[in-house]
Amino acid sequence: MTLQEEVEALAQPEGRVVGTLGHEQARRHLVERLRAIGLSPYRGHTFGLPYRAAGRDFCNLIAVAPGRDPALAPVLIGAHYDSVIAAPCADDNAAAVAIALSAGEHFLREPAPCGIVIALFDAEEPGYFQTLAMGSIRFYEDQRLPVGFHAALIMDLVGHAVPQPTPEVGRLVPQFGRLLFITGAESHADLPGVASAARVPGLPVVATLNRRVGDMSDHRIFRLNGVPYLFLTCGRWQHYHQPTDTPDRLDYPKMAQVRDYLVRVAGALARADLPSEGPRPREHDTTAFELSLLGDALGETGARYLAMAVGLARLETRADLDALAARLQGYFDL
């Protein structure tokens, strides 16, 4: 299936709110897709890993594309499949699920040294977010295999063109809409190199510190446990958590580039040693990395225009980058 077909099949009008028939149908549909693609269950004989929390039933859907060496810790690609409202919620998060499934297909065709886990998490949305019922937390704490994870790549809101923060940016920095944002490169010394080398033509990538924007999705539990991670997102937009977040509004060519980037990052991580830095969260200094990505993404002039448009005189230091992230986030806080 193409990314668009995958999104359209999953993003039904009834939505995927936990406890509803729509959620149940989505779960069955995704189990069937994991089977049809040819992935293997991550543990036991079923993709569905049920859990109970706060008196309710939930179900993570976890598959693996086996690696060449089954003893190695796998790289995890994760996205939540529940929805916030009874509506298609195409960008949140059917787009990321579609990309994760497509990545699973890729790693079946071209196995990596280690396994690639495709994790479709339940219960990420408000009501469960950062609670003990959150799918990614229950997965990490109760369902993961002892070998753990080599690295984790989490996606949320990866299906849309980034809206222009101001008309001036739209005019002066036309590539702004193509941007993909990443956080978490600070979580391991080798991540900036991997995240930089894996870039694909036509998809400018910019990075910021995760703590500048907060734990917006399922990466938190991996971060807290010292797993090297990246979070990929196009940020919030005007259709965020709205009934208007429909499949026809997504940018499918951009999604294909995000998929290509994700696959390249996952493959590179699978081949990298990533020497352990301990069980605690790390924060390496990524100032130079962030500045170089910005320059590559927007060009020197574009980066300067963007800084001016949000009221910054220069983009040279950690403080400048943090101010840029805060001001850009301000435009997208809806």
122 binds Zn ion (CB under 5 A): no
DSSP-based three-state secondary structure for 35: helix
What's the closest the beta carbon of residue 36 comes to Zn ion, in angstroms?
A: 27
What's the closest the beta carbon of residue 82 comes to Zn ion, in angstroms?
A: 9
CA-CA distance, 90 to 83, in Å (whole number)? 9
Site for Zn ion (CB under 5 A): how many residues? Answer: 2
What's the closest the beta carbon of residue 89 comes to Zn ion, in angstroms?
A: 7
Question: Residue 172 to residues 88, 119, 163, 299: CA-CA distances in angstroms?
Answer: 34, 39, 14, 11
Contact segment (CB under 5 A) with Zn ion among 20-28, 85-93, 192-200, 322-330 equals 85-93
Site for Zn ion in 89-108 (CB under 5 A): 92
Radius of gyration in angstroms for the set of CA atoms belonging to the chain, rounded to a whole number: 19
User: How many other CB atoms are there within 10 angstroms of residue 68's CB atom?
Assistant: 11
What binding mask, one character per residue, do residues 217-256 give for Zn ion by CB under 5 A, x or -?
Answer: ----------------------------------------
Q: How many residues does the chain have?
A: 334
Helices (H) and strands (E) in the chain, counts: 11, 9
The smaller minimum CB distance to Zn ion, of residues 92 and 215, is found at 92
What's the closest the beta carbon of residue 187 comes to Zn ion, in angstroms?
A: 23
The smaller minimum CB distance to Zn ion, of residues 92 and 186, is found at 92
What's the closest the beta carbon of residue 84 comes to Zn ion, in angstroms?
A: 5
Contact segment (CB under 5 A) with Zn ion among 15-23, 77-85, 95-103, 189-197 equals 77-85
The H-or-E segment that residue 103 falls in is helix 95-109
What binding mask, one character per residue, do residues 34-73 give for Zn ion by CB under 5 A, x or -?
Answer: ----------------------------------------
CA-CA distance, 274 to 191, in Å (whole number)? 8
Q: Which residue is nearest to Zn ion (CB)?
A: 92
Contact segment (CB under 5 A) with Zn ion among 79-87, 112-120, 248-256, 283-291 equals 79-87
What binding mask, one character per residue, do residues 272-311 give for Zn ion by CB under 5 A, x or -?
Answer: ----------------------------------------
The smaller minimum CB distance to Zn ion, of residues 157 and 194, is found at 157
The smaller minimum CB distance to Zn ion, of residues 17 and 255, is found at 17
Helix axes 252-271, 3-10, angle to 10 degrees: 100
The smaller minimum CB distance to Zn ion, of residues 3 and 84, is found at 84
The H-or-E segment that residue 255 falls in is helix 252-271
CA-CA distance, 254 to 203, in Å (whole number)? 7
What's the closest the beta carbon of residue 92 comes to Zn ion, in angstroms?
A: 4
CA-CA distance, 267 to 25, in Å (whole number)? 32
Q: Is the separation of the CB atoms in 185 and 273 below 8 Å? A: no
CA atoms within 13 A on the CB side of 334: 11
Residues in contact with Zn ion by CB under 5 A are: 84, 92
